[in-house]
Chains A and B, each alone.
Chain A
Amino acid sequence: MERIPILKLGSFLLVTIQVDMHDQLALALQDDLTSRVVGDRATGVLIDISALDIVDSFIGRMLGSIAGMARILDAETIVVGMRPSVAITLVELGLSLPGIRTALNVDRGMELLRSARNGETGDDGRQIG
C-alpha cells in the first residue's frame, strides 16, 4: 500500500502531499506521523501542500487532526505552500482551517518553528501520551 514518505530535518519532520488523499492514506499518514514524532523526538511537523490544486473539507479535517495529535505530543504543526487559488476557494467556502498555522514555504515554516521553540519558557505541564 502506498504511504506518504516522512523526511527528518533536524528536529522537524517534513511531509509533502503530492497525491490524491483518500481515507486509508490519511489514516496511514496519521499513524506514521505520530509514531515518528515520538520516535524521533520531533518538535515540529511541516506539511507541504504546494502540489495540491484542491483542498476540500476532508483534507482540511485531516490537517486539523494531524495538528491536534502533534500538539498533544508537544510538536507544532505548520502547513506550508498553499496555492493562491486554493486559499481563495477555502475562504469562499468558509473553511478557514482554524487552529492551523501556516507559512509561505518550507523555509519560512522552519523559521517559525525555530522561533516558536526559542520563545518557550519551560515545562507547561502538558500531558504526553
Chain B
Amino acid sequence: MAQSRLSEIIAVHEKDLIKEWVVRQNEFLAQRRDRISDSQQRANSQDFLRALTEALSLNAGLDVESNKWSSMRTLLADLARERAAQGFSPTETSTFIFSFKQPLFARLTTEYANSPEAVAEEIWRATELLDRLGLYTFEIFQKSREEIITRQQQEMLELSTPVVELWKGILALPLIGTLDSARTQIVMQNLLEAIVSNGADLAIVDITGVPTVDTLVAQHLLKTVAAARLMGAECIISGIRPQIAQTIIHLGVDLSSVVTKATLADAFQLGLRRKNLGVSRS
C-alpha cells in the first residue's frame, strides 16, 4: 500500500480547498446563511484543515478517539457547541465536514491522474476518516443538546417548589405539577429548610396544582409530612379536588395520619385556630 499523501496534498492546496469547501458549505446552509459570517466559516474551515494535517502527519490513523486526534476532537466539540447555540441542526453541523469530500476528492483525482488505483485508495482512506470525524461531530452535538435539556429540567425543578410564609409560624407549600421522587427530594429540602429559618410549626401542603395523585405520589406526600413532623412541624394537606378524593379511596391509600382540608383557606383557618388566633372585622 503506497504511503498516503493526504496530509501533504491538503497542506499544499489549502487556500483553494477552503475556497471550494466554503462554497459547498453555503450550498447546504442555504437558509441559515445569515446566522454565520463568511469569515467565521473560513476560520472554522482553516482550523479544521490545520488540525487534520497535523494529526495525519503524526500518523494518527482512523481511531478518532486516540490521543493523536485530541486537538481535532476539541476543535470539533467547540464547533458543535457553537453551532448548537446558534440554532443549527445536527445535520447542518456535521455537513460542515461531509461537504469537504467533494473538493478534496476533486483535488485527489487531479493529483493522482496517472494511477486510478492510488486515487481509489486515497479516496477510500479520506472518506473513512471524514465519515468518522463527521459522526463524532454529530454525537457531540447531540450530547450538548442533552446537557441543555438536563440543565433546564434542573432549573424548572428548583423554580417550581416555593415555600411561602402565610403567617408567623405557618408556611404554605403550593405544589404545581407531578410529584416524582426527584422532585420530592427538592420539596422536602426546601420545606425543612424553611421550617428551620422561619421557626414554623405548621406547614400547609397545597396540591391543587398536582394533576394526578396515585399511590406513588401519595407515598411521596406522606414522606414529606413525616419529615416535617421529625422537625417538630405539623402538616395539613389541602387543595384536594373531588376526583382526587375518589381516587385516593379507590386506591386504598391511607391518609389517616394526616389532617386534610379541601381548600387552602380552610387549612389556614385551622392553623390560626390552633394558635388561638382568629380573624375579626375591624
Contacts and interface: CB of A to CB of B under 8 A. Distances in A.
A82 B233 CA distance: 11
A17 interface: no
Contacts of B223: 91-92
B195 A88 contact: no
A90 B227 CA distance: 8
A61 interface: no
A96 B192 CA distance: 15
A108 B201 contact: yes
B136 to A, nearest CB: 41
Interface of A: 80, 82, 84, 86-88, 90-92, 96-97, 102-105, 108-109
Interface residues of B, number: 19
Contact of A104 (B185, B189, B196, B226): B196
B230 interface: yes
A109 B223 CA distance: 23
In the complex, the 7 A-B pairs of residues with the closest C-beta atoms, listed nearest first: A84-B192, A103-B232, A87-B230, A104-B232, A91-B227, A87-B227, A102-B232
Given A104-B195, A104-B201, A88 B227 contact: yes
Contact of B193 (A84, A91, A105, A108): A84
28 contacts: A80-B232, A82-B230, A82-B231, A82-B232, A84-B189, A84-B193, A84-B196, A86-B230, A87-B188, A87-B231, A88-B185, A88-B188, A90-B227, A91-B226, A91-B227, A96-B226, A96-B229, A96-B230, A97-B230, A102-B230, A102-B231, A103-B232, A104-B196, A104-B200, A104-B231, A104-B232, A105-B199, A109-B232
